[in-house]
Amino acid sequence: MIVLIIASVAMMSVDHRSQNLQFLRAAISIFVLPAQYLVNIPVEAGYWAGESLQSRGQLEDDNAQLKMQNTLLKTQLQKLNAIEAENQRLRQLLRSSKRVGEKILIGEVIAVDLDPFSRQLVLNKGIDADVFEGQPILDADGVMGQVVHVAAFNSIAMLITDPNHAIPIQVNRNGLRAIAVGTGNQQQLDIPNLPNNTDIKEGDLLITSGLGGRFPPGYPVARVTKVETNPAEAYARITAEPTAKLDRNREVLMVWPESRLNKPDLTQVPAEDSADGSPQKTPAQATTP
Amino acid sequence: MRSSGSLVIILSFFMALTVAIVPLPDWAVNLRPEAVTMMLIYWCLALPERVGVGIGWLVGLFMDVAKGALLGQYALSLTIVAWLTLKLHQRIRVFPPWQQALSVLILVGLGQIVILWVKGIIGQSPQSWTYWLPAVTSSILWPWFFPLMRRVRHYYKVS
């Protein structure tokens, strides 16, 4: 009894301060995996039924809409290519380091409820897909969070709205740097420690600043919803709403930042993945320029 | 005989773990009973010589991983709950159902206090009183849970 209590306390303190117990967590999670997939089956079945029972008219509508969207995006991409090239050229002129592509993989959210007082997700990619701790998670509209625990075949990601999460951001309009802290509320981020006279307005887009080296720079994070300035207080009270659909996503994008790809031990990762026929469910892989 | 009984115990804990992570609608999330703690209390009452502090600790570790919690947090809580149940099992076993439910309320609540304490130390303490609801739902469900598990145990002759 006493031994076990001491063991638990020792484990908690080690786990809280360092990553040394990751292997233990990974080993145990293999046994937990069947429970997670069991729980996920009805949800999967629901989606499957929803998809296969759609009417023809609805599918046609969807198709038309997607085609239109695709055309629009392609048009925008043409411009982007030119800008990208120009950016590259200017960077060369400035002799600053070139930005190379980031590797992206699509992970699926396993419908599992974790602690209701934190905001976390279980994803179906783990060490087998080279997921690492601290890996950024995105969706089509913005940053969702980062991976906190990796196991053999799954991982746990913390959302940016978790009360323990903070993300370095920048106001897109003027480059003002700040930190966005989660509140536990799915629709709200706090931006503390900005003085009352800061140039920040409702509707400002906040993007990742890339400081801290965890999140790649330039991805949208949130939009400012409220700026309250009270002369009696030292700092303004600023709240923002995440642009990513944090509670409505089934699929997320997992990003390998360039710094990670440049490491010698990880250079062969993309080649290896495509070579072994990918045991995972179609890990759609792409590299953004 | 002995091995088949172990299988039933393992499977029952597996089911409890599943209940602990099954997605619930928003209104029910805070009402989720602490199925794993209830299962542990049941087996400690029924087979105190087989299921005890060690099993509680092990199950707690699985729970930690399943819930993505700090490793050791549920392990500590379930160890203490198992120990206390073992101490009191002869008394709780002969209680009428409502009194048993009350003991479960206290035991599950105690487990939650331990977790609250750990969370407080690492600075994640929950901000809402709904944190305590699982103890209440667990004790409300106990008068149905206990006979059900007893029937399961007799059916598979676990001893």
Interface test with A, best of B10, B17, B61, B71 (most A CBs within 10 A): B71
- The domain that holds B22 is classified in CATH as 1.10.1760
CA dist B9 and B77 (Å) reads: 20
- Span A197-247, pLDDT tens digits: 888 889 999 999 888 888 888 888 999 999 988 888 889 999 999 998 887
Q: What is the mean pLDDT of chain A?
A: 80
Phi, psi of A142 (to 5 degrees): 165, -170
Total structural domains within chain B: 1
Q: Does B72 touch chain A (CB under 8 A)?
A: yes
Q: Give the Å distances, CA to CA, from A59 to A4, A274, B159.
A: 58, 31, 58
Containing structural domain, residue B62 = 2-155
A253 vs B125, higher pLDDT: A253
Structure tokens at B106: 């206290």
| Beta-carbon separation of A32 and B65 below 8 A | yes
Domain ranges (residues) in chain A: 166-242
Interface test with B, best of A4, A113, A183 (most B CBs within 10 A): A4
> Residue A22's beta-bridge partner residues?
none
Chain A CB contacts of B127 below 8 Å: 117, 184
pLDDT for the residue B40:
94
Please report, rounded to a whole number, the percentage of residues in chain A having pLDDT higher than 90: 16
CA dist A151 and A158 (Å) reads: 15
Confidence tier at A268 by pLDDT (50, 70, 90): very low
Q: Side-chain half-sphere of A123: how many Cα atoms within 13 Å?
A: 37
Pairing type for strands A142-150 and A285-288 reads: unpaired
CA dist A227 and A243 (Å) reads: 17
CA dist B56 and A237 (Å) reads: 46
pLDDT for the residue B110:
93
CA dist B43 and B48 (Å) reads: 7
Cross-chain CB nearest to B62 (options A28, A38, A149): A28
pLDDT for the residue A288:
39
- Span A126-136, pLDDT tens digits: 888 888 888 88
For the ranges A82-91, B57-66, B94-103, which has the lowest average pLDDT?
A: A82-91
Q: What are the residues whose beta carbons fall under 8 Å from the beta carbon of B118, sequence distance 6 or more?
A: A12, B70, B73, B76, B77
Average pLDDT over residues A88-97: 70
> Residue A222's beta-bridge partner residues?
A206, A242
pLDDT for the residue A96:
56
Please report, rounded to a whole number, the percentage of residues in chain A having pLDDT higher than 70: 86
Measured between CA atoms, the residue of chain A closest to residue B10 is A31
Q: Tell me the CATH class for A166-242.
A: mainly beta
Contact A260, A136 (CB under 8 A): no
Pairing type for strands A189-191 and A205-208 reads: unpaired
Q: Does B19 touch chain A (CB under 8 A)?
A: no
Confidence tier at A276 by pLDDT (50, 70, 90): very low
pLDDT for the residue B70:
84
Chain A CB contacts of B30 below 8 Å: 116
Average pLDDT over residues A275-280: 38
pLDDT for the residue B83:
92
Average pLDDT over residues B110-132: 86
pLDDT of residue B3 exceeding 60: no
Confidence tier at A262 by pLDDT (50, 70, 90): low
- Span B42-96, pLDDT tens digits: 999 998 888 889 999 999 999 988 888 888 889 999 999 999 999 998 999 889 9
pLDDT for the residue A141:
84
pLDDT for the residue A284:
40
pLDDT of residue A269 exceeding 60: no
CA dist A112 and B26 (Å) reads: 13
CA dist A96 and B3 (Å) reads: 67
Confidence tier at A99 by pLDDT (50, 70, 90): low
| Beta-carbon separation of A1 and B67 below 8 A | no
pLDDT for the residue B148:
93
Average pLDDT over residues A182-206: 88
Chain B CB contacts of A16 below 8 Å: 70, 122
B41 vs A55, higher pLDDT: B41
- Span A42-71, pLDDT tens digits: 888 888 888 888 778 888 999 999 999 999
